[in-house]
Amino acid sequence: MRFGVCTSLDNVNILAEAGYDYIELGVGASLMPLASEEDFKKVKDKIAASALKPEAYAGFIPGELRVVGDNVNLQRLSNFVETACRRASTVGGKVIVYGSSGSRNVEEGYSPAKALDQIAAFLGVAADHAEKYGVTIAIEPLCKKECNIINTVAEGLEMAKRVNRKGVRVLADLYHVWQEREPLANIVDAGDWLAHVHIAEPVKRKYPGNDDFDFSDLFSALKQAGYDGRVSCECGFDDFERDVKVALDTLHQYV
**Residue 131, CA distances (Å) to 62, 157, 170, 218, 231 in order:** 22, 19, 15, 29, 22
pLDDT value for 175? 98
DSSP H helical ranges for the chain: 12-18, 37-48, 74-90, 101-104, 112-133, 153-163, 174-179, 185-190, 216-224, 240-252
Angle of helix 112-133 relative to helix 74-90, nearest 10 degrees, comes to 40
* Residue 53 burial (10 A CB sphere; 0-12, 13-18, 19+): middle
Give 127-145 pLDDT, tens digit per residue.
999 999 999 999 999 999 9
Closest alpha carbon to 137 in 116, 115, 156: 156
What is the rounded average pLDDT of the residues 87-109?
A: 96
CA-CA distance, 237 to 207, in Å (whole number)? Answer: 6
Cα within 13 Å of Cα(200), Cβ side: 16
Q: What are the DSSP calls for 139-179, one per residue? A: E----TTT-SS--SHHHHHHHHHHH--TTEEEEEEHHHHHH
Q: Confidence band (pLDDT; 50, 70, 90) for 95?
A: very high
In degrees to the nearest 10, what's the CA dihedral of 204, 207, 209, 214? 60
pLDDT value for 244? 98
* Residue 100 burial (10 A CB sphere; 0-12, 13-18, 19+): buried
Closest alpha carbon to 185 in 147, 153, 232, 209: 153
Q: Confidence band (pLDDT; 50, 70, 90) for 116?
A: very high
Q: What's the DSSP call for residue 37? A: H
Give 64-75 pLDDT, tens digit per residue.
999 999 999 999
What the chain holds in terms of domains, given with CATH numbers, is 2-252 (3.20.20.150)
Q: What's the DSSP call for residue 109? A: T
Mean of per-residue pLDDT scores for the chain: 97
CA-CA distance, 117 to 12, in Å (whole number)? Answer: 39
pLDDT value for 192? 94
- Predicted structure pTM score: 0.96
pLDDT value for 124? 98
